[in-house]
Structure 1
Amino acid sequence: MISDDSIMAGGMDLPRTMRENAGMSCTVSPATVSSTEANRPAADLPHLWLPYTQMQTAPFPVEAVRTSGSRITLADGRELVDGVAAWWTACHGYSHPHIQQALIQQASMMPHVMFGGMVHEPARRLAARLAELLPGDLERTFFTDSGSVAMEVAVKMAVQYHINRGTEGRTKMLSFRGGYHGDTLGMMSICDPEEGMHSLFAGVLPKQVLADLPVDDASIARLEALLEKEGHTIAAIVTEPLVQGAGGMLFHSPEVLRRLRELCDRFGLLLILDEIFTGFGRTGTMFACEQANIVPDIVALSKALTGGTMALAATVARKSVFEAFLSTEGGKALMHGPTFMANPLACAVANASLDLFEQEPRLEQVARISDQLRRELEPCRTIPGVKDVRVLGAIGVVELEKIENPDVLRRAFVTHGTWIRPFRNIVYLTPAFTITPEDLSHLTSSIVTVLRDNA
């Protein structure tokens, strides 16, 4: 249960986290960036190697020292409103007291234990709750420690499913342009060729099957023809439901998922849904696949699984998939086992996160955020260079014709007291579901102002 202290809403002497989770606003002052900081390259940072960063040309990173609610406090005292919720994970905001309490309690009992030949209550409880939440008979959970590895496990499950059932030759995945499923080597092969760096790693990546999402009659016909020709070599179709996130926040309708489910059934393929970004309320329902009223054969979950507090992921399979691995032959078992799988701390935190979904109005908050994003990002349509404005759940996207230098925009957003990270040709928001209307307005007004100033 959530303690009274974690939901009380009285008095401005409460910590900011509690005020924000209770819907009480906090002010934020614009930040300034020193010329020294702006002119230093990231390579001047000793010892560390940053992700997705050309260290020689990228600006020196800011340093965070504290988080609370939707705020990040920097080492120099500046405070930023976070518009991306720590890469789409911190759905309850930072440092939620109920999650902190669960972490402290579990750490005092059992911070870690191996998960081979031994189980523990936090994992058993979490797996049972996921089975209850997910649609259909998605009931068997394999825990890992990152979204990319959860997808690796999903692919291994799909290939071995066919092998165990005696179906020869089904070793490839069919995935889609614009898709992203992780940075590990296997997952790069099923990402969009640009996102997955197929040219750079040519000759190393396994050969897969790539197609366009079936969004219209022409693409449906092409996909059907491809499956008629190569379907006997394909183990599963893999996609992100409703939103291709890292591919550019590209939205598609639930009908696309229904078509894919029908094609998988017709051609004897498994359907793998990558709900690492979309799972746990981001699109307006607990899981994006609910909007299509379909059940995938395997689903991968991570990011908001622990409310953005700890690394944890889950690959959840239907009963029929799990049963294909049951045998007196040891070689038919699923041979995978990360050292830190089902870490008790992470499982306890994930259970606390699910408590919050049950006891606080998260999906109603997502609906409110969605309405506010639509209203407040609409003025961007009149800005020169803006190509599209779109919103789905708690995802708001401003697509531009092009962004010449994302770092210029990123620095401008920091100057406005916000943490917004443009990439490709988009500026987007994926805020915490607990963000106050005032803080969300600060984010949206910053986008309008910065884009106008740089048009």
Structure 2
Amino acid sequence: MTPDELVAFDQEHLWHPYATTPSAVPPYPVVSASGVRLTLADGRELIDGMSSWWAAIHGYRHPRLDAAIHDQLGRMSHVMFGGLTHAPAVELAGLLTELTGLPKVFLCDSGSVSVEVAIKMALQYQQALGRTRRRRLLTVRGGYHGDTFGAMAVCDPVNGMHHLFAEALPRHVFASRPPAGYGAEPDPGYLAELARTVESHTDELAAIIVEPVVQGAGGMYFYSPAYLSALRELADAHGLLLIADEIATGFGRTGELFGCEHARVKPDIMCLGKAMTGGYLTMAAALCTERVAEVVSAGGGLMHGPTFMANPLAAAVSSASIRLLLERPWRREVAGIEAALRSGLAPAAELPGVADVRVLGAIGVVETQAPVDVGLAQKAAVDHGVWLRPFNRLIYTMPPFITSTDDVVRIAEAVVAAARTV
């Protein structure tokens, strides 16, 4: 097909995420990717400012990751995990337990599924302890945890993407969103309100679930680690489990290896995904403490089993990606991206349509006062040689960690140019 024919067929038959069919904004056809650059069908090269939705932290076609896939493909591409095991899964579990301090690992298909598994763990844990009324979760407004039904139920019920399904979802408990600002002093009034909310629902709560420090697709919103610490203390005081959704924040994106490390807390259950495979394949994990695993197992075992659970190809490339990350000076790389984004995005704060500019780790956000025209904003970025994917009132970037300072500067210029279209 020619590029025009490819796009025409796509528009006729393919349904893209969060979009109509055909898409209101025709997609850009990509023919290859290498390093931090995407090559379009017309020959243009774009710096990837999105890490393919925050997953490709090492960029594309990394020789170490390519080799891991090829080596494993020569052995076996997949085998069921029911009653069988294999070296890639065992090696990956060893890495994850060492990094997180959580000794039990459930490998699954995607981030949304890991949230489903975490919710099941929490509910089965309370049921096994005889606390049969504890069937709800507590979270904070503004969060996003995935697109499957259990995950949707703990996403923001008003301002999130899933309000159309509100009447079909379980009703959980939503506390107010934490005050904004990673470095802000904790608000005693908010902490008191949070405590009252937990206390008033203690008898019906199984767990608390939050995205540590950064709320991702719910608004690219940063909050103080003090509030995460407070949730840990409240969970302990009331017999609740703390679930950390680290799917977007895990593996260095915020400047710490995991978001929970900003508050020096350890959750009872942790969800991982996205960057775990370096963006090569879909895979996720739900990890938990020994105590959670013992109680759930005593109650009959965890009731979940994906067909492609612990896929050897995905497990092999995950281990390779994690080892590569740990061998790299990733903290210095992320700090360099943070510094370049702070400087490069600063001019956006002076634009009339901009409400806020914020940066944390390898995350840069320009929040606008009105919804972004995605087509216009993307064209402005593409004209600057950069790929971005704005949504709602957010023009943001999460570059691969290997992105050079010069390329981060270009990304920031593209974000500012996109913001000028609002």
Q: TM-score, normalised by structure 1?
A: 0.87
Q: Work out which of the residue numbers 240, 264, 288 in structure 1 matches 2:211.
A: 240
Establish whether residue 365 from structure 1 lines up as the match of residue 336 from structure 2: no
1:431 aligns with 2:395: no
1:408 and 1:53 map into 2 onto residues whose CA distance is 16
Q: Which residue of 1 aligns with 2:71?
A: 105
Aligned residue number for residue 158 of structure 1 = 122
Q: Contact 2:12–2:21 (CA<8 Å) still a contact in 1?
A: no
Find the aligned partners of 2:90 and 2:80 in 1 and give their Cα distance: 14
Separation of aligned partners in 2, 1:150 and 1:354: 18
**CA offset digits 1:201-238 (Å, max 9, x no partner):** 23311111111134423332222222222111010000
Cα gap change, 1:197 to 1:416, in 2 (>3 Å): closer
User: Segments of 4+ in structure 1 off by > 3 A?
Assistant: 40-44, 194-199
Determine whether 1:301 maps to 2:272. Answer: yes
The residue aligned with 2:182 is: none
* Amino acid across the alignment from 1:351: S
Which region of structure 1 is more displaced relative to structure 2, 340-349 or 436-445?
436-445
| Residue of structure 2 equivalent to 1:95 | 61
> 217-226 or 408-417: which moved more?
217-226
Letter in 2 for 1:333: G
Equivalence for 1:183:
147
Residue of structure 2 in register with 1:448 after alignment? 416
Q: Tell me: CA distance 1:430–1:404, structure 2 relative to 1, closer, same or farther (3 Å).
A: closer
Residue in 1 that maps onto 2:239: 268
Structure 2 counterpart of 1:284:
255
SS at match of 1:324: helix
CA distance in 2: counterparts of 1:42 and 1:162, whole angstroms: 52
Select the residue among 28, 36, 41 that pairs with 1:62. 28
Shift of 1:197: 4.8
Matched-pair contact (CA < 8 Å) for 1:281–1:363: yes
Give me the TM-score of the superposition, normalised by structure 2.
Answer: 0.94
Say which of 72, 76, 83 aligns to 1:117. 83
CA distance in 2, matches of 1:145, 1:103: 17
- The verdict on how the C-alpha distance between 1:404 and 1:398 changes in structure 2, with shifts beyond 3 A counting, is closer
- Where 2:297 maps in the other structure, the secondary structure is coil
Structure 1 residues 50, 354: CA separation in 2 closer, same or farther (over 3 Å shift)?
A: same
Q: Which digits, 9 at most, give the CA deviation of each residue in 1:10-34, with x for residues without a partner?
A: xxxxxxxxxxxxxxxxxxxxxxxx9
Q: Are the equivalent residues in 1 in contact too, given 2:142–2:160 (CA < 8 A)?
A: no
State the AA in 2 paired with 1:275: E
Shift of 1:376: 1.2
Contact 1:142 1:316 in 2 (8 A): yes
Gap regions ≥5 residues in structure 2: 180-186
Question: For 1:54 and 1:218, how far apart are their aligned partners in 2?
Answer: 43
Whole-Å separation in 2 of the counterparts to 1:180 and 1:389: 21
Q: Using a 3 Å threshold, how does the CA distance of structure 1 residues 442 and 295 change in structure 2: closer, same or farther? A: same
1:347 counterpart (312, 315, 332)? 315
Q: CA deviation at 1:403?
A: 2.8
CA distance in 2, matches of 1:41, 1:202: 34
Find the residue that maps to 1:45 and give its secondary structure.
Answer: helix
Q: Provide Cα deviations, 1:256-281, integer angstroms capped at 9, x if missing partner.
A: 11000001011110000000000000
Matched to 2:295, the amino acid is A
Q: C-alpha displacement at 1:378, in angstroms?
A: 1.1
Partners of 2:8 and 2:174 in 1: CA distance: 35
Identity %: 49
Provide the rounded CA distance (Å) in 1 between the counterparts of 2:266 and 2:258: 11
Question: Structure 1 residues 380, 396: CA separation in 2 closer, same or farther (over 3 Å shift)?
Answer: same
2:94 aligned with 1:128 = yes
CA contact (8 A) 1:278 1:287 kept: yes
Alignment partners' CA distance in 2, 1:374 and 1:394: 10
- What root-mean-square deviation, in Å, do the aligned CA atoms of Structure 1 and Structure 2 show? 1.9
Q: Could you tell me which of 168, 175, 192 is aligned with 2:156? A: 192
Q: Which residue of 2 aligns with 1:173?
A: 137
Distance 1:287 1:385 in 2: 33
Is 1:322 aligned with 2:288?
Answer: no
* Aligned match for 1:385, one of 345, 353, 356: 353
1:306-364 per-position Cα deviation (integer Å, ceiling 9, x unaligned): 1111100000001110111233xxx6211110000100000000010012112221221
SS of equivalent residue, structure 2 residue 33: strand
8 Å CA contact 2:109–2:308 kept in 1: the answer is yes
Match of 1:230 in 2: 201
* Aligned-pair CA distance for 1:409: 0.7
Deviation at residue 404 of structure 1 after TM alignment: 4.5
User: Are 1:42 and 1:57, in contact at CA under 8 Å, matched by a contact in 2?
Assistant: no
Instruction: Report the AA paired with residue 419 of structure 2.
Output: L
- SS of the aligned residue for 1:201 comes to helix
| Deviation, structure 1 residue 42 | 8.1
**Aligned equivalent of 1:146:** 110
Kindly report which structure 2 residues correspond to 1:34-49, keeping only aligned pairs within 5 A, or say none: 45-49=11-15
Once the two structures are superposed, the pairs formed by residues 385-404 of structure 1 within 5 Å of their partners are 385-404=353-372
Q: Give per-residue Cα distances to partners, 1:289-309, cap 9 Å, x unaligned.
A: 011010000000000001111
Contact 2:11/2:22 (8 A) holds in 1: no
CA contact (8 A) 1:412 1:450 kept: yes
Conserved in 2, the CA contact under 8 Å of 1:84 and 1:430? yes
Unaligned runs of 5+ in 1: 1-33
Structure 1 residues 118 and 231, CA gap change in structure 2 (3 angstroms) = same
Q: Deviations over 1:343-392 (max 9, x none)?
A: 00000000100121122212210111111111111111111121211110
Give the Cα–Cα distance (whole angstroms) in 1 for the partners of residues 173 and 402 of structure 2: 40
Q: Which structure has the bigger radius of gyration?
A: 1
Paired with 1:444 and 1:197, the residues of 2 have a C-alpha distance of 27
The alignment partner of 1:373 has SS state of helix
